[in-house]
Amino acid sequence: MTADSTTGPLRPDIAHHAMLDARMARAARAIRLLSLVSWPASEQQTFLAAEARGTATLPAFQYPKHDFGEARREFDAIAAAADPAHPLGIYLIESAHSWGLAAELLENLGTPRVTELSVALFGKPEHTLPGGATTREAANHFIAIANELDLELLAPSEQVAISATSLAMQLQAALDDYFDARVIVVELDPDLIAKAAAGPNRIRLRAGAAFSDYDRHQLLQHEAFVHSLTALNGQQQTVLPSMALSSPRTTATQEGLAVFAEQITGSIDIERMKRVSLRIEAVAMALEGADFLQVFRYFEEAGQDRVESFTSAQRVFRGVPTTGGSAFTKDTVYLRGLIGVHTFFRWALKHRKLRLCRMLFAGKMTLADVQRFEPLFDSGDLLPPRWLPEWVARANGLAGMLAFSLFANRIRLEQIMDSETVVDI
């Protein structure tokens, strides 16, 4: 599908901002935030070996030094040249500011300053959600419910471990079938600490890790059909090539959309919600003074094995001192993003703007961006998404779920006094 703007000259305002965005995309490519804050797999091996001997000490990974001064000056120049009254100008100003903060964070790896910059980019557990509860309170709600449920209720098939090799083959087959071609390659990575990571054309799985059937569905919906698809669709945008990049300012919407995809396709389980929520509580603990060992023990006591406890604790202490009082707060965006995206989808149905939910897949953007970009999608200056996950493409099914959600939210459980009241309904 081709934008009208590619068949003739761009309007001056569009051309001006397209030029600025091309500059921003070039400057931002070196700001690989998540990969540069992460630890190598050797840190995990060293720690777990010492922990098994009873001699564990706080990890003290020495981060390489970075100088992104030139990139930060470029971001400042781009923001100064953008029109703050234009939808593209707002996008560029906010994005350039976000990239600048990320660059500064990477220049300060291993210091407490990273915590301040992380909070500026991703927020913190005390962030207030619609309705008045904080992100931390929401996390503890899901942890409590998960702890009350009996794991023995799991179906036998859900308890069978899937090897990384087998999962890679299954995901590859599903993706090849979706694209009718080899567009995304699934690879095993022995150096990956996280269980999975996604880019536009590659999904990596941690070699040697064990996965569940829920993991398979979650990875397909979360990593492939949100993170990878939005990057691939963003690569189609000739006016805003930066929409293919994972800008820190789009993280909450991206992760919220990805978890919402898990939810609406029935791919999420309460244990997944618990894992996400435990990370939020762990971030709060670290900010309050807990060190790496205390956070590691917290995950162990919550039921995670030693490897996953290290992986989870490492996420909290990426880029910061492990002695307590500091944290990398990115994991706080998952619940906040989920609630934001779910609320936006309900708003879109109510106001007959479900089309905007589809446009969220046209590249990596925020909920505010997609609303400001609506006239640009109408004019053809921005392209609609080339690829969509099935649950978005089938608009009638999405509308049905959201319509029920809108009505069900009117029911207040506090007004239903007992089981007989429920039966009477």
Domain boundaries, the chain: 123-424
DSSP of 159-202: GS-EEHHHHHHHHHHHHHHHHTS--SEEEEETT-SSSEEE-SSE
CA atoms of 380 and 360, how far apart (whole Å)? 15
Structure confidence at residue 410 (pLDDT):
67
- Cα 295 to Cα 61, 112, 125, 135, 225: the distances in Å are 17, 17, 15, 19, 32
Give pTM, 2 decimals: 0.91
CA atoms of 125 and 276, how far apart (whole Å)? 12
Q: Are 173 and 165 in contact (CB under 8 A)?
A: no
Look at residues 138, 109, 132 and name the one whose alpha carbon lies nearest to residue 338: 138
Q: Are 202 and 183 in contact (CB under 8 A)?
A: no
DSSP of 83-95: -TTSHHHHHHHHH
Alpha carbon 352 to its chain centroid, in Å, reads 27
Structure confidence at residue 192 (pLDDT):
87
Structure confidence at residue 150 (pLDDT):
60
Structure confidence at residue 374 (pLDDT):
97
Flag residues of the chain having pLDDT under 70. Answer: 1-8, 150-159, 406, 408-425
Structure confidence at residue 155 (pLDDT):
55
CA atoms of 301 and 131, how far apart (whole Å)? 31
Q: Give, in degrees to the nearest 5, the angle at Cα 166 between 162 and 171.
A: 105
